[in-house]
Chain A
Amino acid sequence: MEGFTHLIPFAAGHEVIRQGRRRLTLIRMTPDLIYDQLIGMGCADKLVFSWVGNPGVGSLHRFRDAYENGWPAPIAIEEHSHAAMANAYEAGATGLPFAVFRGYLGVDLPKVNPNIKRIACPFTGEELAGVPAIRPDVAVIHALRADRAGNVLLEGIVGVQKEIVLAAKRSIVTVEEIVDDFGARSANAVILPSWTVGAIVCVPGGAHPSYAQGYYKRDNAYYKAWDAISRDRDAFLAWIKTNVLGRGPDAFATYAAAEE
């Protein structure tokens, strides 16, 4: 599940929790609250990431409880830098086996991550870093809208949404709305054609507390409040019971087009 602050698929993530999915390997450059919730509910046994936290607020307490204390279950990690993961997703979208870039010099991460290797340029001999391409089983993203033909439109901070859909074997896209056609748009609009996308579901408000450009803003107060809710295991479980287990995707509609 990806979303670089923008278009984070919270509704989809909550459905994964409700369906009681287990033993997932969760991949994301910037795991935030939705991954804290999935990990805290025992859905994952591995996390692949490059920056894990609640931006501007602090740690992800449920992730740290799993990693440091094994609660509710131990979690393995594979840690990279942003450049490595961005390159790895692009390689995945390209169908190549690995990504090459200049980086990881003089730092400790290669000592603890066997998926970082040195490779020499076959033409110049320059030593570069190599990481395997990321080819997820499933990519889950939230996008702005789809048209009736099933094409998907993204705009704003598009992050790595397009790359992960193209890199994955299957994809699930939740959207704010489905329109008859996209209408007037930039010739360079970021659109995933219908034949690259798996399933599309209309879930208005489905990125909340993250945001959807042109629909609703980021709920910074919610992100700040998460710090206290997630520090305590019982408070976390009570919050999940009320706000995730006791609701459905339609609960997100209240956040749709609230303030734009």
Chain B
Amino acid sequence: MSYNPTEMMTVAAARTLRDSDICFVGIGMPSAACNLARLTHAPGITLIYESGTIATKPDVLPLSIGDGELCDTALTTVSVPEMFRYWLQGERFTVGFLRGAQIDRFANLNTTVVGSYDKPKTRLPGGGGAPEVSCACGEIYIIMRQSPRSFVQRLDFVTSFGHGEGGDHRARLALRNKGPTRLITDLAVYEPDPVTKEMTVTSVHPGVSADAIRANTGSPVRFAAHAAETPPPTEHELSVLRALHARTARAHGKAA
């Protein structure tokens, strides 16, 4: 079966998740990856959205983090202050799944502004749940398409803290969780260097060249000494993902 780079990215992201994970799901591509994992190799995974829906099992991908089906299929729904205090602040998530508009080589994210804060070139949606997700979930996975505009040398604004300036920056800020441990893009998978924490390519997707990765990054790219090739999506993974997207498209096109 042939597949496109977005499908490769979603499948690679889904594979990072385990049955035992308690996962904070960000909207968009994280939601697709998390639900694909639940529908394939991790049927027991607990998915939680910031709207308060705990252990939700939607049949279609929600357009927003508060779609009705998230509540209908959840074990229980709590208030938003409870979600952010008992559940997130209480460090009950093993993984938080995020994305951003801009990312730097230490996996810090920007979803606030392009340009200056007071007179932005582009005003982005803002941090939402991400700033505290970055500091309170056991580890962070990030899923983003690569381009020189999104993978930058220096962020215009730090919305969510990744590895800061690298090295022991997280420890110096007394952050107890691991921070970003995986970055999955449409071209490769990155992991932080154990010492410098710089995001390093550890797996290249099939058919992607090192030059293509460099061309789609606005800063120098580090490659692991023995970077692997990402196993391509299986027929099963693709058929489940495509069916999920098809059901979603039908549901979201419908008016009330």
A contact residues vs B (CB 8 Å cutoff): 4-6, 29-30, 49-53, 55-57, 59, 63-64, 67-68, 79, 81-83, 86-87, 89-90, 101-109, 112, 126-127, 156-160, 162-163, 190, 208-209, 211, 213, 216-224, 255, 258-259
Please, which residues of chain A bring their CB within 8 A of the CB of B70? 157
CA distance A214 to B256 in the complex (A): 13
Please, which residues of chain A bring their CB within 8 A of the CB of B123? 52, 59, 63-64, 67-68
- Minimum CB–CB distance from A69 to chain B (whole Å) comes to 11
Task: Assess the B135–A103 pair: CB atoms within 8 A.
Answer: yes
Please, which residues of chain B bring their CB within 8 A of the CB of A223? 63-64
Task: Assess the A211–B50 pair: CB atoms within 8 A.
Answer: no
Please, which residues of chain A bring their CB within 8 A of the CB of B81? 86-87, 89-90, 160, 163
- Minimum CB–CB distance from B235 to chain A (whole Å) comes to 28
Which of these, B62, B67, B157, contacts A108 with CB under 8 Å? B157
CA distance A67 to B121 in the complex (A): 11
Interface residue ranges of B219-256 to A (CB < 8 Å)? 251-256
Task: Assess the A55–B63 pair: CB atoms within 8 A.
Answer: yes
- Minimum CB–CB distance from B151 to chain A (whole Å) comes to 19
Q: What 20 new A-B contacts, CB under 8 Å, besides A55-B65, A222-B255?
A: A4-B80, A5-B64, A5-B66, A67-B123, A82-B80, A82-B129, A83-B131, A89-B81, A101-B89, A102-B136, A103-B89, A105-B135, A108-B157, A112-B118, A157-B51, A158-B77, A160-B80, A218-B63, A221-B252, A224-B252
CA distance A112 to B126 in the complex (A): 13
B195 CB–A CB distance under 8 Å: no
Q: Which of B5-13, B35-43, B159-167, B200-208 sits within the interface?
A: B159-167
Please, which residues of chain B bring their CB within 8 A of the CB of A163? 79, 81
Please, which residues of chain A bring their CB within 8 A of the CB of B173? 105-106
Task: Assess the A157–B66 pair: CB atoms within 8 A.
Answer: yes
B58 CB–A CB distance under 8 Å: no
Task: Assess the B84–A82 pair: CB atoms within 8 A.
Answer: yes
Please, which residues of chain A bring their CB within 8 A of the CB of B117? 108, 112
Task: Assess the B112–A108 pair: CB atoms within 8 A.
Answer: yes
Task: Assess the B256–A209 pair: CB atoms within 8 A.
Answer: yes
Interface size on B, as a range, is: 35 or more
CA distance A31 to B161 in the complex (A): 24
Task: Assess the A52–B126 pair: CB atoms within 8 A.
Answer: yes
Task: Assess the B71–A82 pair: CB atoms within 8 A.
Answer: no
- Minimum CB–CB distance from B114 to chain A (whole Å) comes to 11
Given contacts A81-B132, A83-B131, A106-B173, contact A56 B51 (CB under 8 A): no
CA distance A57 to B252 in the complex (A): 11
CA distance A255 to B255 in the complex (A): 11
B contact residues vs A (CB 8 Å cutoff): 27-28, 50-53, 62-68, 70-71, 77, 79-81, 83-85, 88-89, 108, 112, 117-118, 120, 123, 125-132, 135-136, 157-161, 164, 169, 173-175, 251-256
Task: Assess the A160–B157 pair: CB atoms within 8 A.
Answer: no
- Minimum CB–CB distance from A236 to chain B (whole Å) comes to 17
Task: Assess the B79–A159 pair: CB atoms within 8 A.
Answer: yes
Task: Assess the A4–B28 pair: CB atoms within 8 A.
Answer: no
Task: Assess the B88–A157 pair: CB atoms within 8 A.
Answer: no
CA distance A126 to B85 in the complex (A): 17
Chain B residue with Cβ nearest A89: B81
Please, which residues of chain A bring their CB within 8 A of the CB of B169? 106
- Minimum CB–CB distance from B234 to chain A (whole Å) comes to 28
14 contacts between A and B (CB under 8 A): A51-B128, A83-B84, A87-B81, A101-B84, A101-B132, A102-B132, A107-B159, A157-B51, A160-B81, A190-B79, A218-B63, A218-B67, A218-B68, A221-B252
- 3 closest A-B pairs by beta carbon, nearest first, are A5-B66, A55-B64, A51-B128
Which of these, B68, B84, B174, B175, contacts A213 with CB under 8 Å? B68
Task: Assess the B51–A4 pair: CB atoms within 8 A.
Answer: yes
Task: Assess the B255–A50 pair: CB atoms within 8 A.
Answer: no
Task: Assess the B256–A157 pair: CB atoms within 8 A.
Answer: no
Chain A residue with Cβ nearest B256: A219
- Minimum CB–CB distance from B251 to chain A (whole Å) comes to 8
Most chain-A CB neighbours within 10 Å: which of B64, B136, B255?
Answer: B64
- Minimum CB–CB distance from B65 to chain A (whole Å) comes to 7
